[in-house]
Amino acid sequence: MEVAVVTVDRTLSTSVAALSHERPAFAAERRAAATRLAALARSIG
């Protein structure tokens, strides 16, 4: 399960970076959501 979490983390990081570049106003919100989802994935795994 750790491999899946790392994959999710990397995917989210890439997505957040792309979204932040396109919409700077939403960067903090996207990062917070990514952090919460990654934490949830880690707690499940």
CB 30 within 8 A of CB 19: yes
Residue 23 φ then ψ, to 5°: -135, 80
Any residues with CB less than 8 A from the CB of 31 and at least 6 apart, and which?
16, 20
Residue 30's pLDDT is what?
78
Residue 5's pLDDT is what?
59
Q: What is the pLDDT of residues 10-34, one digit of tens each?
A: 766 767 666 656 566 677 787 888 8
Residue 8's pLDDT is what?
64
CB 39 within 8 A of CB 5: no
Residue 34's pLDDT is what?
86
> Alpha-carbon torsion 21, 23, 28, 44, what sign?
negative
Tell me how far apart the alpha carbons of residues 14 and 44 are, in angstroms, rounded to a whole number: 22
Answer with the residue of higher pLDDT: 37 or 29: 37
